[in-house]
Structures are given as C-alpha cells and as structure tokens.
Structure 1
Amino acid sequence: MTTIKMLTISEEHYPKPSVPEQLISQIQEQDDDMQAKNKFQIDKNDLIFLRNDPIYRYDEEVDIFQMYFAKESAGYSHSEEAIENKVLISYDNDGKIFSVDIFKASKNLSCHLYDTQIEIDNKPPLVIYPIYHKFRDELRVYFHGSIPPTIKFEKSEEEGVEVGMDDANKIVALLFQDSSKKVREDC
C-alpha cells in the first residue's frame, strides 16, 4: 500500500506558472459584464497577469497553511488581523500584507493538503493560482484549479480583503483589492 505524505513545514512550494482556462474564462465573463454595465472597452491583454511570487507551506502539527508574499527576515516587526478565526493577515511596518495563515487548513480549505496531484476524499489537490487583474488592481489567489460554479466572496472586517467560499463554506480563494498598494511582492 502506498502512503501519501502531507505537505510539510520544511518544504517550500512555489505556484504553478500556468492558469487553468476555467479561471481565465470566469474572470473574463465578469469583465464582459462590467464592460456592458459601464459601456467602455477593456483590452483583454491588460486584464490577467499571473503573479509567481507567493511561497507557501503547510505545518501538519498545528494544521496551518502559510503563504508569503515577502521573504521572512529576522527582526521584521508587523501587525496581524484575524478574519473570522480562520485567516490571519500579517502586515509589515509599511502596512503591506506580507503573509496569510489559514487555521485548521485541512478543514477550512476546499482542497486537500497531501503531496499528490490526485483527488482525495472528493477534494482536489492544493495548487496555488495567484492571478492579478490589472484593470481592477485586484489579486485573487485560488487554492486549486477546479473552481465551483458559484463562489461567494465574503467581505471581511479587514478592509480590501475578501474570502471566496464554496457552497460547503470552504475557502476556495482570497481576494485582495488595491493589491499594488497593499500586497508585498518581493519573494
């Protein structure tokens, strides 16, 4: 019998460079709706840019998924804000987001955290897709490529941060508004 190991804290993982067509289509449909409402043309070539900078890891002992937009350094002071006891956003001294922690990740994420690309317990594998939308200055970080037909983005107490939930109330994505001003990108 083959055992499948969990992603571990000592292993840092980098996102995949290609974005599933389903994600691109979903975002473009939203942009088509926005164009129809506002009656102006958006150049599709300026819409979606994949950001390759987040580094992520999973600590199985405490069941926390961690994603960094900047490298950790000693003596780096910051503030932290919790969102519904599921997500912790950490800021640097300039007020920019440099990391996100998801507590009880195996329960709260809509994907599994095993180091394999097969589906387990009807959950797709963790694959980070950070997509930057230039026109909206919005960064969406999807946790897998099999996106449900309905994602409900819930506003958090944290200004400009929304949590994308599926019908089972599991985290599918995170959304950061005004991301060029709020999210570090120096991994």
Structure 2
Amino acid sequence: MSDKKDELLNHEYDGIREFDNALPRWWLYGFYFTIVFGIVYAINYHGLSKPMWGQPGMVAEYTAEVEAANRLAANRPKAAGPSATLVALTDPASLQKGQAIFESNDNLCHSCHRKDLGGLVGPNLTDNLWIHGCTPAEMVKNVATGFPPLGMLPYGSGKTLSDEQLLLVVSYVLSKQGTNPENPRAVNPEREKPCS
C-alpha cells in the first residue's frame, strides 16, 4: 500500500476529479476475511461429508435424506396390482372401522368426497362411474399412491395407513355403492367410466 495522501488523478468526468487514495486497512482486512471465510465455508459445507464444525454438510444431509426415503419406500405397504385378488370385507365391525378411518380428521377422505361419499372436490364414490378402477385391488393401489397432480395425496392426507386400514377403507367405500346421496357431484363423462 502507498503512503501517498490525496493524490489527484489526471482525468475528469462531468467536472468531477477524484483522488487515488488507498482504502482503509480495516476495510481491506474485512474484505480479505470474507474471501477466506467464503472459501473455507464452501469447502466445509459443500465439499466435505463430515464438516469441521460438527454440523452435517450438504453431502451428508443429501445422503441421510436418500437413506430415509429408501427406508420409507421399503416399509411402505406394497400396493396391490390389478392381478392381485383382494376381497372387500362386509362384516359390520370392519365397515364401521373403515367408516371411522374415512371420516377421521387424520385422513381427510371426507373433506373431498363428503361423509356420504357423494363427492365434493373429489368424485362421487357411490355411483357406478369410476376414473381409476373400481376393484378392491385397484382402489387400494389408488388410495396408497394417491393422485398428487389432482390434489389427492397418498392415503388421502399423506399419513400412511396399514394394509389392514387400506382394506377397511376400501371395503367401506364399496359398501356405499348405490346409496344415492342427495346432491351428488356432477359426473364428468370424459373421465368417469362405468365400472366393469
């Protein structure tokens, strides 16, 4: 750094002339500190799997999230495919349990399909017109995977149901076929097809 003070430069712009003074040392040291800190931070949090300061870096966080997702996928009940044979339950106790799950505030099925299953945001579940299949196996798969682009989260609210709970809910829905609730949601003929 130069010891010169107030050295006037030889150029002028809009009648303004400037001095060529050295920056204050505190400013330069702060600037150098931020450069060094930025390099150390980038290496520590973006490059190392085990950062120096004890908090997980991006690599470790990513690895942990992938492992958690894999564990969740491994523990998720396998959705039954169309070839699987599932039989809906018909005993009153099972249907009552299925109704309790359907109407529960934890699962939110009733918030889109109404408590009488006549449809609100979601389609009417009491008629013979279905969008994604009407067999117990197809319905279990549909509830388990949901239709997020259409607003239906997996299991209705994202809260996982056991295989038994899935079958209870599906059995309850199937038991309400033909109940004809008042003011059902209008049919969408482009999407809803008769169940075969």
The structure with the largest helix share of the pair is 2
Larger Rg: 2
What is the TM-score of this pair, normalised by structure 1?
0.23
Choose between structure 1 and 2: higher strand proportion.
1
